[in-house]
Amino acid sequence: MSLSTYNFPGRYSSLSEIAEIVKEKSSEAGLQEDSIYSVECAVDEACSNIIEHAYQGEDKGEILVELEVFAEGIKIRLIDHGIQFQPEKIGNPDLKAPLSKRKPSGLGLFMMRKCMDKVSFDFSPGTNILTMIKYRDTPCCTDLDSNQES
């Protein structure tokens, strides 16, 4: 088991460097290529949401990225000090609705839940923690047409 911690400025230009580290550590965890890509997508979406929603723009905070490689896969924790997110208020998107009728938010969280095996949020005053886990022996994504939460 190995834990690596990185601190990035909350700006979109940080996303490519975060993705490279996630790719490296996911490979180290023994994930297959399609699962590695799914993890990269979930982390990219989560970090983009931190910048856009928690910090409401670039250069207003930092993103702490913790990657833990363990026997069954990888655990990723993203920690920020922005506005608290309320995941219970975000419903699943209607993927069958025409684009013009869809809500402008919620697809990213839905995608994270589908690409990862576990997604959880913890909040304390001034700190938001998103924890995502991907196991080595699970498929890269669950059925995207399903509106079930993981």
pLDDT in tens, 14-53: 999 999 999 999 999 999 999 999 999 999 999 999 999 9
Q: What is the pLDDT at residue 17? A: 98
Q: What is the pLDDT at residue 32? A: 94
CATH 2.40.110.10 fits domain 2-135? no
Q: How far apart are the first and last CA of the chain?
A: 25
Q: What is the pLDDT at residue 44? A: 97
Is the CB of residue 56 less than 8 Å from the CB of residue 24?
A: no
Domain boundaries, the chain: 2-135
Closest CA to 138 of 118, 110, 108: 118
Flag whether pLDDT at 58 surpasses 50.
yes
